[in-house]
Amino acid sequence: MKYSARMDEVKPSATLAITSKAKALRASGEDVIILAAGEPDFDTPEEVKKAAIEAVNSGDTKYTPAGGRLSLKEAIKRKFKDDNSLDYDVSEIVVSSGAKHSLYNIFQVICNDGDEVIIIHPYWVSYPEMVRLAGGVPKFVKTSAEKGFKAGEEDILSAVSGRTKALVINSPSNPCGAIYSREDLRKIAKICIEKDILIISDEIYEKIIFDGQEHASIASISPEVKAKTIVVNGVSKSFSMTGWRIGYMAGDKEMIKKVNTLQSHSTSNPCSISQAAAEYAISKGLTEEMERNCSKFQERRDVLMKGLLSIDKAKPFKPEGAFYFFCDISGYGLDSMTFAERLLDEAKVAVIPGAPFGDDRFIRISFATDVDTIKKGITRIKEWAGSL
């Protein structure tokens, strides 16, 4: 069988692959510490589950419009207004089966073969692959821990060419937890306006932010920037609803129409029951519960930071948001894949290698797990790394 050339260069998602390998090891009886999770360990709030059960019982089990039902879009519209001071019409919003799906669809509708998309390093593993799947070419902008893993104006300008179609910004960032301030965003937006580049703003970790910082959406800088931006968000991280698969985007009406068309021929509507649950979560906001979870994440970050600093050659970057540490392990002389594989095989600790995030000198360590597990993990990493 000759398969499509499109798939030739696409690698499976390392984040999903390693997490399932670690879970399988655990299921087979191994005592594995998993510091790889890309999802909150907290359960979906009870009242959200109830809303879903009610949806099932009331027969909300049929197709909905392909881009999501109106009442959910109205809840998302209110969320944008309340949280981000952004005014969207419901015709500028589309609901997808997870933010990953939203992003995939965006690249599908904007890219022609050879179009370039600027992706800032270190980046979430799926961006480059999604761009390639759409026929586009990822153009990477290198940053450094010393510069807070943030791209400046010159870095971005040096990646712009006549084929640049879009730029992806992810704040707070997966895998390093860096947050772009409003001022940082203003500078990037200025370039995008001048060079006519679409801004794709992935704000999925918006609610997981530490030390009293504030999330700024690049679209809220000015109406001109808003018109050039497509904002992507979802309920996975903010409401611990990863398995429910609801994401959404807001932006230019024409693009939204095209995404609707694409969904109407591919996935059809996101699950009706998940839409009901997401509508409940987004409408209620569930601020108290979410703030409680956020302070737990902050406590875990601090425990992990202290632990990592006590490991000889590990150089952790302190995250300001999300739930991952990007930690420099280059001092051990191993590439990130070997480091992560040996750490799992020999010390039974699962982390994600940095290579698929664009940096082979790093590993990603998740703190979406309880403090005891984090402490145990640190003890094992320290002992194992000490023996290298």
C-beta of 200: minimal distance to ligand PMP in Å? 10
Site for ligand GLU in 283-322 (CB under 6 A): none
Site for ligand PMP in 168-207 (CB under 6 A): 170, 174, 202, 204
Cβ-based neighbour number of residue 62 at 10 Å: 7
Strand order of the sheet with strand 324-328?
A: 315-317, 324-328, 362-366, 352-353
Sequence-ordered list of residues with C-beta below 8 angstroms from that of 148, at least 6 positions apart, any chain: 178
Choices 93-101, 156-164, 250-258, 260-268 (CB under 6 A): range interacting with ligand PMP: 93-101
Residue 16 binds to ligand GLU (criterion: CB under 6 A)? yes
Which CB atom, from 105 or from 348, has the smaller least distance to ligand PMP?
Answer: 105
- Binding map of ligand GLU across residues 89-128, x = CB under 6 A, - = no contact: -----------x-----------------------xxx--
For ligand PMP, the binding residues in 241-260 under the rule CB under 6 A are 242, 247
Which member of 22, 33, 34, 38 binds ligand GLU (CB under 6 A)?
A: 38
Interacting span for ligand GLU (CB under 6 A) from 12-20, 41-49, 56-64, 224-232: 12-20
For residue 307, state whether it binds ligand PMP (rule: CB under 6 A). no
CB of 269 to ligand PMP, least distance (A): 16
Residues contacting ligand GLU: total by CB under 6 A: 10
Kindly list the distances between the CA atom of residue 38 and the CA atoms of 10, 17, 52, 255, in Å, as whole numbers in the listed order.
20, 11, 23, 29
**DSSP-derived secondary structure for 274-332:** HHHHHHHHHHH--HHHHHHHHHHHHHHHHHHHHHHHTSTT-EEEPPSBSSEEEEE-GGG
Binding track, positions 170-209, relative to ligand GLU; x by CB under 6 A: ----x-----------------------------------
373 contact, one of ligand PMP, ligand GLU, none, CB 5-8 Å limit per kind: none
247: partner contacted, choices ligand GLU, ligand PMP, none (Cβ within 5-8 A by kind):
ligand PMP
Output the CA angle 97-13-323, nearest 5 degrees: 75
Residues forming a β-bridge with 230 = 200
Distance CA 243, CA 236 (A): 7
DSSP letters spanning 8-67: TTPPPPHHHHHHHHHHHHHHTT---EE----S-SSPPPHHHHHHHHHHHHTT--S---TT
The tokens for 202 are 């992935």
* Chain contacts with ligand PMP (rule: CB under 6 A): 38, 98-100, 124, 170, 174, 202, 204, 234, 236, 242, 247
